[in-house]
Amino acid sequence: MSVRYEQKECRSIKPARYVRTLAEDVLAGLVEPPRKLPPKYFYDERGSLLFDQICDTQEYYPTRVEDALLAEFAQEIIHKIAPDHILELGSGTSRKTRHLFRAYQDRSGVIYWPFDVCREVLVETAEALALEFPQLEVRPLLGDYSAGLEYLPQLSGRSLYVFLGSTLGNFEEEEAVTLLRELSTRMSAQDRLLLGIDRAKPAHVLRAAYDDNMGLTEAFNRNLLSVLNRELKGDFRPSAFSHRAVYNEEMSRIEMYLVAKMQQEVNLETLNLKLEFSEGDSILTEISRKFTLESAARLLGKAGLTPEEHYTPEDQYFSLLLVAPERSAM
């Protein structure tokens, strides 16, 4: 089935609950220490492209390992589930998901629903996929999955939900359980979730993955300040902040910060807001939790989900979990 993708087909998803705007997040997170912002603001068009480049670095193993796992097991996963729909949360450029589509090359009728916050990336990716996989029907969804999944399309037949890149690790425990429970609620007994999780491992490996030698992660982190400048008429100087990635062993997570190199004043004209930074002041821009199989199973259990299949390399640096609702029996 040949598909001609048109930009007008990019469907906006109504939020199921209120999610703060960028301006509100800035007022809540940057005025007083400890300063922090949600990582979703990384992913404008430039940020999404930078992240794709990060995924190609030697240090950033999660994408490389997850990609290899998908290449090896996509056929088995697709054969087992035989989904009519593939809906991916935080789809980005769908680079790894292509392995699932290749496993479908001899079939038509599968519908792919990429769900992401960046319209430009959704449009470009949908156009590319329609050319590369003529058997695939692409129906992009524009929205923020952290705002809830209630208004996602109701899908008939079997569905495979896809949540890759260990993006679940960017959520605090309560937020992660909320998102997973919403997925569990909409899943039928035949549906499955394909979930990527990054595993706990030596600290030096983790730190290197979030501070590559090419400086791409630093540029990605600083790009957040460019987003603030553009959207809120700010005068942040990205070069006046350094990138720092630390491993919080107690909480089993990487924490990414922007750290002021000097005392400085920043104005956000849209908010009529002046921010004062002393040398060494930091902004927490991302957490990335690292899991054991036991901690992942506990988290999934809180949401009414259970691991059914486990795919991992010999070093167990990363895991793909095929997850079922607890009520299912296949």
CB 310 within 8 A of CB 321: yes
Domains of the chain: 22-51+203-289 (no CATH), 54-202+290-325 (3.40.50.150)
Integer Cα distance of 240 and 258 in angstroms: 10
Q: How many CB atoms lie within 10 A of CB 32?
A: 7
Q: How far is residue 151's CA from residue 142's CA, in Å, rounded to a whole number? A: 12
The pair phi, psi for residue 153, each rounded to 5°, is -60, 145
Q: Which pLDDT belongs to residue 118?
A: 87
Amino acid, res. 160 = L
**311 CB neighbour count, 10 Å cutoff:** 18
> CA distances (Å), 283 to each of 133, 216, 241, in order?
42, 18, 10
pLDDT tens digits, residue range 70-95? Answer: 999 999 999 999 999 999 999 988 99
Nearest one of 202, 182, 203 to 193, comparing CA atoms: 182
Q: Which two tokens stand for residue 10?
A: 């990019």
Q: Would the pTM of this model clear 0.85, i.e. be above it? A: yes
1 and 108 in contact (C-beta within 8 Å)? yes
Per residue in 301-310, pLDDT (tens digit) is 999 999 999 9
Q: What average pLDDT does the chain have?
A: 93
In SS3 terms, the chain reads as: CCCCCCHHHCEECCCCCCCCCHHHHHHHHCCCCCEECCHHHHCCHHHHHHHHHHCCCCCCHHHHHHHHHHHHHHHHHHHHHCCCEEEEECCCCCCCCHHHHHCCCCCCCCEEEEEECCHHHHHHHHHHHHHHCCCCEECCEECCHHHCCCCCCCCCCCEEEEECCCHHHHCCHHHHHHHHHHHHHHCCCCCEEEEEEEECCCHHHHHHHCCCCCCHHHHHHHHHHHHHHHHHCECCCHHHEEEEEEEECCCCEEEEEEEECCCEEEEEHHHCEEEEECCCCEEEEEEEECECHHHHHHHHHHCCEEEEEEECCCCCCEEEEEEEECCCCC
Taking alpha carbons only, the member of 186, 135, 137 closest to residue 16 is 186
Cα angle 260-261-262, degrees, rounded to a multiple of 5 = 95
Residue type, 169: G
Burial of 295 (0-12, 13-18, 19+ CB in 10 A): middle
Block means of pLDDT (10 residues each) for the chain, 330 residues, are 51 91 97 95 91 92 96 96 96 94 80 93 93 91 93 94 96 96 96 98 95 97 98 98 97 98 98 98 98 97 97 96 80
